[in-house]
Chain A
Amino acid sequence: MMEHAQWLLGGLLLAVALLVAWVCWMLPEWSRPGIYFAVTVEPAFRATLEARRIFRGYRLQAMIHVAISLALLFAGLEPKRWPALIVGELWLVVGPLIAFLIGRERVMPHAAKPSLVREALLAPRAAHLPGGWLLQLGPFAILAGTALYLRWHWEEIPERFPVHWGVDGRPNGWSMRTPAGVYTPLLLGAAIVAGMALLTYGLLRETRLVRAPGSGKAHLDLAHQAAYFLAGIEYFLATILSAVALLPLTRNFGAGVVLIAAILLVLAIFPLAHRLNRARTPYASVSENSPAPVAGDGTLDEHWRLGVLYFNPEDSALFVEKRFGIGYTLNFARGTSWFILLMVLALPVALAFAALWRH
């Protein structure tokens, strides 16, 4: 008999698996017409019978992998079968990746010669954060507001309060009413949000300018959409960490607020994916006189390892558009990219350490 907490965890896993399934289902559609399964092709290729056959094969395999991982995840809900939970999580990532690599192998014989003509607008360009500083300051305002509220209600905070709960719902970790004990989640939140704002600025500054045909001017549509998405995550994290910081006063997780924030974030993914997809217009010349779409995305197939890792020491761009998936990836030939990757990986590690320290 499954307990309440297991049902909750099961529901969460199902939601994650369904989201992953939807992303896997859509992934091949989310690339510029000159790119298919991370291979440079003629823009008309994706409408051919062979391309559709490869697409269907990929989707079938990806869905089988998602179903297997889901079965493993549910099996792992039983305490004695916890290793299945880890295998299931890994399968959810590796399985669809294998399906993609098989699809890529099948597209490779149809690879086209990419255009090697490069164009640039000869005017200085400044990186402007979408929404301005006001939007970027929002998450900091949430954290600061929470800090002030805690300061005003300091006397109401118990000397010792729970900060960690077991699967059975009983507290098993405690913290004391000290500035470090009370404000750590907020400080951690401020550090994460600052890091993400810096990443957004770097993305807008270090990305190549791409113009869509017919738009009349060069733009950074995709980067701007990605910046809005990152801002959404910043707001979400600020809300979550504020709810955590308020635990000593609210005595529960403030599940309502967090749940609404989580639902809003997940729901935001759908229209955002649609907008990002629309932004992925054919790669074209930046000059008004040659607006025709060309094969490829301004990078060469040989610089993409397994179609997902970009490695080109001759390219000064730090961020390049992903060939499979939405958003940007790093140019791993540059040392700064590894530093950024380390910082991003340090984020969950810092959260885990903070949780353990409070525990």
Chain B
Amino acid sequence: MRRDPPVLRIDLASPRPAVEQIASGLRALLVAGDFVPGDQLPTVRQLARDIGVHHNTVAEAYRALAGEEWLDLRRGRGATVLVRRRPRPSARAEQSFGQRLGELVAAAIADGVPPDAVLSQMRELAKKLGCVNRAMRCEPRTRRTR
């Protein structure tokens, strides 16, 4: 079945640098399984043009994801999604995640988001991650028809 390509959304008014927003936006889509190994991402220039930023910004975000072994960057071939094995979690990564999650939840509740809504969203996320987790175990996956 033909599916619409995923959409990357960034907010240039946000205090977060554009490069960070692009990298984390793409990472979220990769983790969620919106791409399969072998998928081609837009070229650096095309993505930079469409979101109205300098091409170096997109190139830096792509390099960051290539460093995390999500993407294969080859000159003239653009960015290709790689088969990525989940790295062994370090104690420091888990501790850092726990701390950031705690801060994020506190900030959301301080902004008036009801704790029930926070919990419900976390459940949704856990469910989605469970699906992704199962999918990641049975690689290589079949290629999605575009």
Contact = CB atoms under 8 A, between A and B. Distances in A.
A117 B8 CA distance: 10
A120 B7 contact: yes
Given A118-B9, A124-B40, A288 B4 contact: yes
B51 interface: yes
Given A121-B50, A125-B46, A314-B53, A287 B9 contact: yes
A123 interface: yes
Nearest to A288: B4
Contacts of A314: 52-54
B41 A208 contact: no
A119 interface: yes
A122 B7 contact: yes
Contact of A122 (B11, B12, B29, B45): B29
A124 B40 CA distance: 7
Contacts of A245: none
A117 B7 contact: no
B5 A316 contact: no
Given A122-B42, A124-B41, A124-B43, A315 B8 contact: no
A208 B48 CA distance: 9
Majority SS of interface residues in chain A?
Answer: loop
Contacts, number: 90
A300 to B, nearest CB: 9
Contact of B8 (A119, A124, A209): A119
B49 interface: yes
A337 to B, nearest CB: 14
Interface in B5-33: 5-13, 26, 29
Contact of A316 (B41, B48, B78): B48
A286 to B, nearest CB: 6
Given A125-B46, A315-B53, A117 B11 contact: yes
Interface in B89-114: none
B71 to A, nearest CB: 12
B13 A313 contact: no
B42 A124 contact: yes
B46 A124 contact: yes
Interface residues of A, number: 27
B13 A208 contact: no
Contacts of A125: 42, 46
Nearest to B46: A125
Given A316-B48, A316-B54, A122 B13 contact: no
B109 to A, nearest CB: 25
Nearest to A316: B48
Interface residues on B, range: 20 to 34
Given A124-B78, A288-B4, A317-B49, A117 B10 contact: yes
B55 interface: yes
Contacts of B42: 120-125
B11 A316 contact: no
A298 interface: yes
B49 A121 contact: no
A175 interface: no
Interface string B31-67: 0000100001111011111111111001000000000
A276 B40 CA distance: 32
A49 B11 CA distance: 33
A116 interface: yes
A316 B55 contact: yes
Contact of A317 (B4, B11, B52): B52
A299 interface: yes
Contacts of A288: 4
A93 B98 CA distance: 65
Contacts of B50: 118-121, 208-209, 286
A105 interface: no
A6 to B, nearest CB: 50
A351 to B, nearest CB: 33
Interface string A306-334: 00000011111110000000000000000
A206 interface: yes
10 contacts: A117-B9, A118-B51, A121-B42, A122-B41, A122-B42, A124-B42, A208-B52, A217-B4, A313-B54, A314-B54
3 A-B pairs with least C-beta separation: A123-B5, A316-B48, A120-B50
